[in-house]
A and B are shown apart, each in its own frame.
Chain A
Amino acid sequence: MAKRTDPSRFFYQPIIAVLSLTSLVLTVYVVWLSLRDLSLMRAGRDTFVGIDNYIRFFNDPRGLWALWRTVLFTVLATSIEVVLGLAIVLFLDRNFALKRLVRTLLLVPIIMTPVVVGLTWRFIFDPASGMANYLLSRLGFDAMDWLGSPQVALYSVLIADIWQWTPFVILLSMAALDSAPSDPLDAARVDGAREWQVTWYVLLPMLRRAIAIVALIRAIDSIKAFDLFYIMTRGGPALSTETLNFYGYVVAFTNFEISYSLTVALILTIFTNVALLAMYGVLFPKNGEPR
């Protein structure tokens, strides 16, 4: 029925036009700036430099390391949160007594502001008085410098991120599980499947789409993660937790190199899109269900 004469197009077409125009203009402007050498230290004296900024990035070890950390953090955070969240959902009974209460409690980390989450975890990871080291000592391990050691700090932020965002995975998976039909699971049991086979062959494939969307959301969020890094480590120690997003911020607001910072942001955007499109292609193939 969506003919060209459909008058509702007068409502949506202007909105689409304005939105497209804004993104287009902004993108073009950013690309244009990334081809110059605009810096707040030399205001008004910027010149056209072509792709020098891009060449600079691929010869900038600090930038490449930041990119690598972003990849590492995104892959680890997304996969651990999705697997852990799913495992928790599957191990919890489908209908347990305190389900509503648990659901409400799960919301707490999600709605907590990053400042509170970050500060809380900084206290927990405090080498002298933190709970993490207390726990380690009770278990008979040596104390760790959670946020002070370059080898450990990224993983400490990861732990905080997992704590904050696994409940999100749990919440969405629970909803997907509740709306999935239960008869096929019973059918599989009658057909001779053990419980793990019911989960593996029937339940998880049914939840596949929901899981894919959760993973996608978590991946996008992890790539852009900034708040926890800013509050917990500010990229340190020794740049060991500096992600690409954070590096872009440093370049812009510490070094005032606006053009180079925008270049970093553009590279992050391109990288994100390529990664997500690839992920999307794997999870939602065009013809039918994935194998």
Chain B
Amino acid sequence: MAQLSIRDVRKSYGSVAVLNDISIEVEEGAFVVLLGPSGCGKSTLLHAIAGLHEIGSGSIVIGGRDVTDLPARERDVAMVFQSYALYPTMSVRENIGFPLKMRGLDKKAISESVDRVAAILQIEPLLERRPRELSGGQRQRVAIGRALVRDPKLFLFDEPLSNLDAALRGDLRAEIKRLHQRIKRTMVYVTHDQIEAMTLATKIVILNRGVVQQIGTPQEIYFNPANLFVARFIGSPPITLLEGKTANRNGELLFKLSNSDVELSMPQSTNLAGDETETILGLRPENIQIVREGNASLSATVDLVEPTGPEDIVTLNVQGAPSVIRTAAGMTTQGSSVGLELDLGKALLFESGSGTRLS
């Protein structure tokens, strides 16, 4: 049985639809990441799950109970807000103990639970401080502590790391992952950062403009994107996209690159696309190799070389289309002309207009 079911949820602000027929099933113990660009409706969905605002239609089921019409306090979820939303006038101890106080626990029980959580998060020395006397990372821990203290059915995180600097973000990301492995609770985590999504998730839900684009494991999302949006959104460096037309010649699928006379012979099945269909060919950086110009299926010029140490990040110009790949350090120089070897067996084909996946 799923721990959280979101069924055909819609929500609009005025005439603007922010959530469009969202359906997601989350199994017990899963770590689901809602991933999408800013403004795509992630927070709106999370607030709807928490019961902080009403939804237009659809239903939300938590732990087998339909909570669609229940107020937030009866849903038994815990939430970590993007702004942390600590109670500014309470000490850290009171902040973490607040959910228990609202449940009517006595002072001693609250104090013991707060101490236990503080030990897990290593914030014991901070317990008597006020939120404004804490650093960003400490506040974030307190916010997590407030969620941990009461063992809810569901944890909700709304971009909890987005206000932190890069180093701290990495540390806390690892900590959240360890926490999940330890307490094995169902978590729904919102982010616009694909690294966070790929490293934390057991399941990723990609959202764009209030519509679910794809639901899958990080591997599925990366290697088998459902459409052009997902392919573009996931991957760093980003996927290389070449525009062209498909053609069918003697049972062989050809890809004719726009603005050039290059024809690539594709191993994919010919009945994927009709003749002369406008198509986009996508290749992950690891499927593009730089080779000597003579042996190449395609030539390109080097636009930019960004050394990172062991490898360079190289931006190429492939017949007018940008392509970013990784190479061994010092392999190329800016402005030079290189040949490319493409692993077309791994190529992804998308319909040009709709962005639908063809292969």
Contact = CB atoms under 8 A, between A and B. Distances in A.
B83 A183 contact: yes
A202 B51 CA distance: 19
Nearest to A182: B85
Interface in B90-117: 90, 98-99, 102-103
Interface stretch (A103-111, A167-175, A192-200): A192-200
B130 A189 contact: no
B130 A289 contact: yes
Interface residues of B, number: 26
Contact of B52 (A189, A197, A202, A205): A189
A192 B77 CA distance: 9
Interface string B70-93: 011101011101011111111000
Contacts of B103: 192
Contact of B79 (A190, A202, A205, A289): A190
B102 A193 contact: yes
A194 B87 contact: no
B146 interface: yes
B87 A187 contact: yes
B146 A191 contact: yes
B85 A192 contact: no
A183 B85 CA distance: 5
B85 A184 contact: yes
B99 A192 contact: yes
Given A183-B83, A288-B130, A289-B130, A193 B73 contact: yes
Interface residues of A, number: 20
B50 interface: yes
Contacts of B90: 205
A201 interface: yes
What is the predominant secondary structure among interface residues of chain B facing chain A?
A: loop
A80 interface: no
A205 B89 contact: yes
What is the predominant secondary structure among interface residues of chain A facing chain B?
A: helix
B72 A189 contact: yes
B89 A206 contact: yes
B52 A184 contact: no
A191 B130 contact: no
A206 B130 contact: no
A190 B85 CA distance: 11
Contacts of B98: 188, 191, 193, 201
A234 interface: no
A191 B99 CA distance: 5
Contacts of A201: 87, 98
A190 B73 contact: yes
A289 B85 contact: no
A181 interface: yes
A290 to B, nearest CB: 9
Given A186-B52, A206-B88, A206-B89, A192 B73 contact: yes
A195 to B, nearest CB: 9
Interface in B36-88: 47, 50-52, 71-73, 75, 77-79, 81, 83-88
B102 A190 contact: no
A190 B50 contact: yes
11 contacts: A186-B72, A187-B87, A189-B71, A190-B72, A190-B79, A191-B73, A191-B99, A192-B103, A193-B102, A205-B87, A289-B89
Given A186-B72, A193-B102, 4 more contacts: A181-B88, A187-B79, A189-B71, A191-B98
Interface of B: 47, 50-52, 71-73, 75, 77-79, 81, 83-90, 98-99, 102-103, 130, 146
The 6 closest A-B pairs by CB, nearest first: A183-B85, A205-B89, A187-B85, A192-B102, A191-B99, A189-B72
